[in-house]
Amino acid sequence: MSYEPTIVAFLCNWCSYTGADLAGTSRMKYASNVRIIRVMCSGRVDPTFVLSAFKEGADGVLICGCHPGDCHYHEGNYKCLRRYHLLQKYFQQMGLDKDRLRLEWISASEGRQFAELVDSYTETVKNLGPCKMKQVIETLT
């Protein structure tokens, strides 16, 4: 039985969101499972947001920022990278597959890469099966 995962994506305004727009203007097709939230910088992505997304029922979370060295705000993406790694370790302890969270660098010209990323990540999450987090949280006994 196939299920359609829901993926919440946090995209930085300057590179990745623009890249996603480019995928759109270029009419590239990609999986509709992703829901994008715009932040000014990937450095704004608070772990709280990521955890909340799972709590609300996301099956995967994608964070995209400018390539290292390209951050519009100099180093926000590095901050994000550091948090990502710590979150990954936390995830393992919480029984969440590390693939439930993905960080990728997408520049403003990488519309194609964004579309491909969405497709491949959707596939990855699909293979992981539905994330039970929301259900577990709601039915704690």
Quick check: helix, strand or coil at residue 77?
helix
Q: With binding defined as CB under 8 A, does residue 85 bind other proteins?
A: yes
The alpha carbons of the chain give a radius of gyration, in whole angstroms, of 15
Question: Which residue, 72 or 124, is less far from other proteins as judged by CB?
Answer: 72
Q: Which of 87, 51, 81 is nearest to 69 (CA)?
A: 81
- DSSP category for residue 43: G
Give the x-and-dash track for 13-52 against other proteins (CB under 8 A).
xxx-xx-xxxxxxxxxxx-x--xxxxxxx-xxxxxxxxxx
Q: Which of 27, 28, 32, 26 is nearest to 5 (CA)?
A: 32
Q: With binding defined as CB under 8 A, does residue 129 bind other proteins?
A: no
Residue 90 CB, nearest approach to other proteins (Å):
5
Member of 57, 99, 124, 128 binding other proteins (CB under 8 A) = 57
Residues in region 101-120 near other proteins by CB under 8 A: 107-113, 115
Q: Which of 56, 7, 53 is nearest to 30 (CA)?
A: 7
Residue 121 CB, nearest approach to other proteins (Å):
14
Phi, psi of 60 (to 5 degrees): -160, 155
Residue 114 CB, nearest approach to other proteins (Å):
9
Member of 2, 66, 104, 122 binding other proteins (CB under 8 A) = 66
